[in-house]
Amino acid sequence: MKPDILLTNIGQIATVAGHSENPKTGEELGELSIIENGAIAITEGIIVAVGTNAEVLSQITQMPELPSIEFPNMLATPGFIDSHTHLAFGGSREKDFAMKLEGKTYLEILEAGGGILNTLRSTRKATQGELCSNAFSYAESMLSMGTTTIEAKSGYGLDTENEVKMLRAIEELRPKIPVDLVSTFLGAHAIPPEFEGRTDNYVDLIINEMIPAVAESKLAEFCDVFCEKGVFSVEQSRHILRAAKMSGMKLKVHADEIVQLGGAELAAELGAVSADHLLMASDDGLEAMKKAGTIATLLPTTAFSLNANYADARKMIDMGLSVALATDFNPNCANESLFFTIALACYKMKMKPREALSAVTINAAHAINRGKTHGSIEVGKRADILILDCPNPEYLTWRFGANLVHTVITNGQVVHTKLGP
């Protein structure tokens, strides 16, 4: 074997392996998935060997042209995967912040004409290029903090033209930044003002016009719905998601965030890949998700910013659900740091550091249907690898205010590094 790139003398490799075929909770992340003094070989963007230095070097018949890169005392992990973001939108929302500081809830801000409708106006006004440029700046910041795969939703256009424009902005972004982007159509994010009081008519528009337009141009791999009291009912959500499934999209659900509505049950019923938020999910709903293999994606930054309670991660992990963590980066909670998400998961949701690590890598990969290709450092997987300037997975939770990213490799290319020339 002659690799293109060889990383050697890595203090620890947290491979997060062993979760690919049958996603398990972070509990399973044991001794076996940590390799001390390890090495990784990469060919054409794919991991071709991983193990101890000796194991990897023994497989190499010809050294690469480039000198191997050494990372003593550092930690290699899979690239972080942010499996739930609203990456592209117009405008910014620092002015809503005052309302939040006065204790207003998300729904109250929404009712006061602020919140999502504010972003709706800015997004409709923006050109595709402007949306792409905004998304680029957010994605660039994410990449600098180790996020190598980003799920990005539409949902601030809320009519066919503008939903398509948002998804095209994500397409325009793809070649501009070395992150892997996964597009989700979220036309059912809110009721646009022109359909106020006529939600069923808007649902018809989504089903009859938006989904066909998105599917025809292959602009989204997933369809998501904000299934919530005052937004889309379980029945309306079911209609939309079924139509999307028929059109070839995979499914996600914003489920049981504010009110226990039955979103978790719906996600399980339809075989959704993930159900997200889940602060109020019923035990029956969670059990159904487990049976269906639906990933529980938790978004603690949103709870932090809303001063809400956190989802019960410990209960979900202990019952055997696969838990992913994501930022929920959006104009109402514009925090793109998965380090911060990990810190909240540990400090506020009592997740263990290794559970949190698998939740932003392999479990997050499963939450975007990328479990076979992304999310762990294993032979045959895409070479998305972080080198962190820290000795072990616990340390990154201890130093929770620092950006410990030393080197980022995406698709086998070094795209960011603190190494000298």
Whole-angstrom distance, CA of residue 366 vs CA of residue 368? 5
Tell me the closest approach of the beta carbon of residue 392 to a copy of itself, in angstroms.
7
Q: Which of 335, 373, 411, 417 binds a copy of itself (CB under 8 A)?
A: 335
Q: b vs e for 221-243, b when ≥16 Cβ sit within 10 Å of the residue's Cβ? A: bbbbbbbbeebbbbebbbbbbeb
- The answer to whether residues 327 and 335 touch, using CB atoms and an 8 Å cutoff, is yes
- Say how many CA atoms lie within 13 Å of 81 toward its Cβ: 30
Whole-angstrom distance, CA of residue 241 vs CA of residue 16? 32
The 358-397 site mask, x for binding a copy of itself (CB under 8 A), equals ---------------------------------xx-xx-x
Q: b vs e for 323-360, b when ≥16 Cβ sit within 10 Å of the residue's Cβ? A: bbbbbbbbbbbbbbbbbbbbbbbbeebebbbbbbbbbb
Number of residues this chain uses to bind a copy of itself (CB under 8 A): 38
Whole-angstrom distance, CA of residue 142 vs CA of residue 73? 24
- The answer to whether residues 349 and 298 touch, using CB atoms and an 8 Å cutoff, is yes
Contact region for a copy of itself (CB under 8 A) — 1-9, 128-136, 298-306, 369-377? 298-306
Tell me the closest approach of the beta carbon of residue 365 to a copy of itself, in angstroms.
22
- Is 398 a binder of a copy of itself (CB under 8 A)? yes
Element housing 151 (H / E): strand 147-153
- Is 400 a binder of a copy of itself (CB under 8 A)? yes
Tell me the closest approach of the beta carbon of residue 329 to a copy of itself, in angstroms.
8
- Is 141 a binder of a copy of itself (CB under 8 A)? yes
Q: Which of 304, 373, 415, 417 binds a copy of itself (CB under 8 A)?
A: 304
Other beta carbons within 10 Å of 195: 17
Tell me the closest approach of the beta carbon of residue 29 to a copy of itself, in angstroms.
15
Contact region for a copy of itself (CB under 8 A) — 174-182, 206-214, 283-291, 344-352? 344-352
Interface ranges with a copy of itself (CB under 8 A) = 92-95, 97-98, 100-101, 141, 144, 301, 304-305, 307, 327, 329, 334-337, 340, 346-348, 350, 352-353, 391-392, 394-395, 397-403
